[in-house]
Amino acid sequence: MNINKVKSVESYSLSYKAILCDLWGVIHNGVEIYASALTYLERMKEHGIDVYLISNAPRPNYVVQEGLTNKLGLNPDLYKDIYTSGDIGTKFVNKKIHGESYFHLGPTKDYDLLENINISKVDSINEADFILTTGLYDDSFETPKDYNDLFNDFIEKEKPIVCVNPDEIVYRGLNSIFCAGALGKYYEKLGGKVVYYGKPYVEIYDQAFQDLKNMNNIENKSDILAIGDSIKTDCLGAQNFNLDFVFIMNGIHKDQISGKNNIEDISNLVENILSRDTKEITVSDFLK
């Protein structure tokens, strides 16, 4: 594995035509936009380099945009589009490859995603072909273990889970919360079957890549730089799709990285988390 450290992500980005940038943990923390991330977006716009936000949000992209604009005050002119795991999951669910009916496991705030799903939503697990999970019912205090009995019932009934947010945890302000990906991993641990949509899986990257090619914005994957703070999702996803990648060190892994200032330490961390070889990775601490 080859890891390099750069002082300026802005300068490093100038050799690319498009940026696929993670959202939560890189642009914001659920409460506020990072000042340095805002500066980066402004600089990319000045340089004429298009930024596309790529998120494991289990929501439609227009809902994510509304939140960024109205809640966090991010100018939508600073990025071109948003790709969400929710939209990608909806695309494949609507193809009926998982069945024709689903039971929703997740909070009411994710109901806007369900409006775009064309198959039947049922209230009885027995009537569902699969379980669609967007997150915990209440992530302010629940953990995956709280779903032990429910999950064992799902497994007994041989119900697969379709997870449209592979993230396991995020920071909301200073507090970490569990996401749908943590439910998926726990379900697998109990013996259940899970299908994931979003980073690090290729469907979301392929959608962005095909769209950019169709708009004549890029020609090859080498024209794209991916940026993210999660080794399990952003880093692995970029590797799986053969994209160059910048790892933001003071995001989701900030506690693990604390005190690790040399490249060898970062390399060991990446290797330990991925447990596989990776392509070249560039690291930066541009978020403060």
pLDDT tens-place string over residues 214-250: 988 889 999 999 999 888 899 889 988 999 999 887 7
Element (H, E) at 178: strand 175-178
Give the Cα separation of 208 and 52 in Å (integer). 8
User: For residue 59, which of 109, 15, 105 has the smallest C-alpha distance?
Assistant: 109
Q: Which pLDDT score is estimated for 67?
A: 95
Q: Which pLDDT score is estimated for 284?
A: 47
pLDDT tens-place string over residues 57-70: 999 999 999 999 99
Task: Tell me which amino acid residue 83 is.
Answer: Y
Q: Which residues contact 162 (CB under 8 A, 6 or more apart)?
A: 89, 93, 98, 102, 130, 131, 132, 133, 194, 195, 197
The pLDDT of residue 163 is above 70: yes
Q: Which residues contact 148 (CB under 8 A, 6 or more apart)?
A: 190
Q: What is the DSSP string of 122-143?
A: -S-GGG-SEEEE-S-S-TTT--
The encoded tokens of residue 55 equal 């998120």
pLDDT tens-place string over residues 94-126: 999 999 999 999 999 999 999 999 999 999 999
pTM to 2 decimals? 0.88
The pLDDT of residue 18 is above 80: yes
Taking residues 59-83, report their average pLDDT: 97
Domains and CATH numbers, the chain: 3-56+200-284 (3.40.50.1000), 95-196 (3.40.50.1000)
Q: Which pLDDT score is estimated for 279?
A: 45
Q: How many residues in the chain?
A: 288
The pLDDT of residue 195 is above 90: yes
The encoded tokens of residue 213 equal 């090619």
Pairing of strands 169-172, 175-178: antiparallel
Q: Which pLDDT score is estimated for 259?
A: 58
Q: Which residue has the tokens 């696929």?
A: 20
User: Distance from CA of residue 115 to its chain's centroid?
Assistant: 21
